[in-house]
Each structure stands twice: as C-alpha cells, then as structure tokens.
C-alpha cells in the first residue's frame, strides 16, 4: 500500500468515525434535521429489534422524535467500531460497513425532580451501511440489533397524543 493510499484510508476512517459520532449526538440531542442529513437520499433505518419501525430516514426521524419524548436524558455510547471499506462501480472506498456496539442509558421525562441516574438502559449492536457521496460519507442503512435492556421496577409513562 502506498503512502498516499494509506493517508486516504486514514482520512476515510476519521470521516466515518465522525459520522457515527454525529449519529449518536443527533439522537441524544433530539436534532432530527441533523439526523436526516446524515443519510444518503434513499437511506433507511431499522429499529424493529428495539420495538421500533423500519423505514426511510424521514419516517424513522418522525418516529424517533415522538418516542424519544419519553426520555429527558439520552446518552448513546457507541464503541468497538469495526470499519470495512468496500467497492462500488470499480472504485475502492465508495462503501463502508461499520459494526459497533452500543450502551444507551436514558431517564424518563417524568423523573426530572428525582435522581439523575438512568431509569432505562439498553445495549446491542449497530450495523451501518455507508456510501461516499458528493457531500461526504452518508448512511444508506442503519440496523439496530438490541441485545438486552434493563427496565425500572415501575412502568414507563404513557404517551399522550
């Protein structure tokens, strides 16, 4: 591998890492416009294993905006990132696959006056499919595989329409 190729690969790895971090921050901060902008035009997400939906980035952002209102605090910790670059139309590095584990502590919104400790914690693995676009790396697929969750002794508050 030439020094130029090694430098390009390093730059791509840093850009991919930043994209995954921006994903976590957008969800934790409830910035749904930023969330949608992380996706390629035909990008999709699948949260069914965590009790959610599967759909295009706009549909999923709407579902997340509604369901995340239950939680006053969210903090995705995305770790153990494994990045593999692929080939699209004969150009190396046009695609990437990222597998990353997550732990996500959250606090129910109604618990704002009590402890600052999380009420709900879940963990699992993300599978990200990425594309290099004219705007940089973007997600074309996110699949959540929730592996475990710890719920509080009490039940979650009901969603009010």
- For residue 155, tell me if it sits in a domain: no
Q: Which segments in the chain show pLDDT lower than 50?
A: none
Q: Give the pLDDT score at 155.
A: 54
Q: Tell me what pLDDT residue 6 has.
A: 80
Residue 128 near residue 102 (C-beta atoms within 8 A): no
What is residue 4's predicted lDDT score, i.e. its pLDDT? 72
Instruction: Kindly state the tokens that stand for 161.
Output: 């329409």
Is 161 inside a domain boundary? no
What is the pTM assigned to this prediction? 0.85
Q: Say if 158 falls within a structural domain.
A: no
In a domain, 160, yes or no: no
Q: Please, what is the Cα angle at 104 between 44 and 113, to 5 degrees?
A: 120
Domain count, the chain: 1
Token duo for residue 134: 């004219």
CA distance linking residue 141 with residue 157, whole number of Å: 31
Please identify which residue in the block is written with the tokens 């995705």: 76
């Amino acid at each position: 591998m030439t020094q130029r190729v090694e430098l390009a690969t390093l730059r791509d790895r840093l850009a991919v890492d930043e994209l995954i971090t921006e994903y976590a921050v957008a969800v934790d901060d409830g910035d749904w416009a930023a969330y949608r902008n992380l996706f390629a035009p035909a990008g999709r997400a699948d949260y069914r294993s965590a009790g959610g939906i599967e759909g295009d980035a706009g549909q999923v952002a709407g579902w997340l905006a509604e369901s995340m209102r239950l939680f006053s605090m969210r903090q995705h910790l995305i770790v153990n990132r494994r990045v593999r670059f692929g080939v699209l139309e004969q150009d190396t590095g046009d695609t990437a696959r990222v597998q990353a584990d997550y732990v996500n502590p959250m606090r129910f919104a109604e618990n704002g006056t009590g402890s600052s400790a999380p009420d709900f914690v879940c963990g699992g693995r993300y599978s990200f499919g990425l594309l290099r676009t004219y705007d940089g790396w973007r997600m074309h697929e996110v699949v959540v595989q929730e592996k475990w969750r710890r719920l509080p002794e009490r039940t979650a508050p009901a969603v009010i329409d």
